[in-house]
């Protein structure tokens, strides 16, 4: 009898120990409850969205926001090719239109909304040595001057355009009546941040050839983050389509409630305050 009781006691003790270990393992594994949210966003949003991510994840510690930044047209192509985006934020309406108007629509019904606005500026380098053309540039129309030999803008080709900033730039130059004149001077780059870098460095490589860059057209928000360029002129808003950043949630998402939460957060006071600190405008 005593032997049986002893064996039963041993079995109970072993079972209890295993249960305790098992429960501890469960409680020490928070990664199992982490949700990954994949956000594809226009590269001009990089700094602001990274700052917003910190605040959002502090408030939502079980969510891991993963960004893919790039030119809006490039991101659209990646999404169409099967990219794992839950949310897409473009720097123009055209790219979002493609997804919304697909049959069937690639956007969750009612999820599309405008997040922020921006403006376009002409910039010139400030770090020496600065060419006479760059130093003397005072307006967008001044791009026609003979001493301006290289102008960087985003790649406006494609349907919809690869780089919205490049398309806005083309529209501004056309509205000013100088696009045909300055066209031979243009270097078309793969995204707006590369345009900024080209102006900062006063050079870029196109097709394996080094090009001198005297000026470029970027967003106000891009010029704001650089201490190597100056704003020559802000483009007239009526000279291009409105510079709007629309957001849409992809129907392919498997984390819809999290995507909706992040979308709502971007329109809230905290996120909008961060956007404004980087010179974006309210939608």
pLDDT of 21:
42
Domain 120-239: CATH architecture, name and number where available: 3-Layer(aba) Sandwich (3.40)
In sequence order, the 6+-apart residues with CB closer than 8 A to the CB of 17 are none
pLDDT of 33:
84
In sequence order, the 6+-apart residues with CB closer than 8 A to the CB of 278 are 47, 48, 51, 221, 224, 225
**Structural element, H or E, at residue 64:** strand 63-70
Residue corresponding to tokens 């064996």: 7
Alpha-carbon distance 121 to 140, whole Å?
9
- CATH superfamily of the 32-117+243-277 domain: Periplasmic binding protein-like II (3.40.190.10)
Question: What does residue 90 show for φ and ψ, rounded to 5 degrees?
Answer: -100, 160
**Structural element, H or E, at residue 188:** strand 186-189
Q: Do 32-117+243-277 and 120-239 have matching folds? A: yes
Residue ranges of the chain whose pLDDT lies below 50: 1, 6-9, 14-32
Domain map of the chain by residue range?
A: 32-117+243-277, 120-239
pLDDT of 223:
98
């Amino acid at each position: 009898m005593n032997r049986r009781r002893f064996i039963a006691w041993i079995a109970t003790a072993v079972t209890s120990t295993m249960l305790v270990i098992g429960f501890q393992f469960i409680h020490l594994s928070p990664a199992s409850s982490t949700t990954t949210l994949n956000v594809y966003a226009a590269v001009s949003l990089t700094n602001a969205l990274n700052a917003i991510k910190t605040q959002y994840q502090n408030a939502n510690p079980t969510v891991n926001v993963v960004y893919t930044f790039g030119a809006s047209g490039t991101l659209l192509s990646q999404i169409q090719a099967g990219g794992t985006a839950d949310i897409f934020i473009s720097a123009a309406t055209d790219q979002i239109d493609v997804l919304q108007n697909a049959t069937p629509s690639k956007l969750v019904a009612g999820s599309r909304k405008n997040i922020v606005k921006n403006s376009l500026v002409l910039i010139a380098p400030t770090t020496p040595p600065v060419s006479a053309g760059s130093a003397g540039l005072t307006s967008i129309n001044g791009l026609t001057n003979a001493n301006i030999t290289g102008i960087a803008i985003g790649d406006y080709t494609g349907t919809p355009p690869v780089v919205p900033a490049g398309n806005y730039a083309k529209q501004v130059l056309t509205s000013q009546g100088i696009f045909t004149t300055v066209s031979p001077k243009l270097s078309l780059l793969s995204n707006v941040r590369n345009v900024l870098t080209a102006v900062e460095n006063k050079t870029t490589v196109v097709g394996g050839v080094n090009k001198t860059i005297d000026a470029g057209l970027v967003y106000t928000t891009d010029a704001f983050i650089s201490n190597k360029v100056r704003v020559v002129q802000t483009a007239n808003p009526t000279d291009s389509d409105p510079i709007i950043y629309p957001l849409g949630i992809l129907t392919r998402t498997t984390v819809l409630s999290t995507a909706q939460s992040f979308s709502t957060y971007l329109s809230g006071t905290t996120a909008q305050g961060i956007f404004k600190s980087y010179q974006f405008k309210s939608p």
